[in-house]
Structure 1
Amino acid sequence: MADNTPKDAKAPAKTRTSPGEFIRQVRSETAKVVWPTREETVRTAIFVFIMVVILSLFFLGVDSLFGAVVTWLLGLI
């Protein structure tokens, strides 16, 4: 594709924001965030905990299996 932007085009100059203005902008943007309800947060936390337990048990089984296979293979030597 052809690049139609001029080679000597400069980015717009960045203006410096005062700390007070920055805090006002942060508060304004934070007010726009749709925060999850307590119920959604608890449900998600429980789901994450259950998945961590399931995957931990899975990887424990895989690791034990590989360990047994390696021990068996080393026993053949």
Structure 2
Amino acid sequence: MVDKADKTAKVAPAKVKGGKKTSPAEFIRQVQTEGRKVVWPTWPETVRISIFVFIMMIILSLFFLGVDSAFGAVVSWLLTLA
């Protein structure tokens, strides 16, 4: 069984290499190393994803236009009752 005190205990910040801070030069090297691991999409993938995003944007904008118009009509109708 887990004690409540265990759940609320604060976690100490992680230490880097024996408690030393990372130098700016080491940080840049780490960023470059991670940047080399990135797999960039090909041009056809980029075009395909952009077209998909554009189509979804059109569909969602039409959906929200319909919902907004419906709510607007309901509110206008309710205001005429008052």
> What's the TM-score, normalizing by structure 2?
0.71
- What's the % identity of the aligned pairs? 69
Which ranges in structure 2 are unaligned for 5 or more consecutive residues?
Answer: 4-11
Figure out how many residues of one structure are paired with residues of the other and give that number: 71
Q: CA 1:24–1:63 in structure 2 vs 1: closer, same or farther (change >3 Å)?
A: same
Which ranges in structure 1 are unaligned for 5 or more consecutive residues?
Answer: 4-9
| Larger deviation, residues 54-63 vs 19-28 | 19-28
Segments of 4+ moved more than 6 angstroms: none
Q: Tell me the residue number matched to 1:55.
A: 60
Looking at structure 2, the residues matched to 41 and 14 of structure 1 have their Cα atoms a distance apart, in angstroms, of: 42
Looking at structure 2, the residues matched to 72 and 2 of structure 1 have their Cα atoms a distance apart, in angstroms, of: 56
> What's the TM-score, normalizing by structure 1?
0.75
TM-align CA RMSD = 2.1
- CA deviation profile, 1:4-51 (whole Å, cap 9, x unmatched): xxxxxx865422222112111111111111111121122112111111
SS state at 2:40 partner: coil
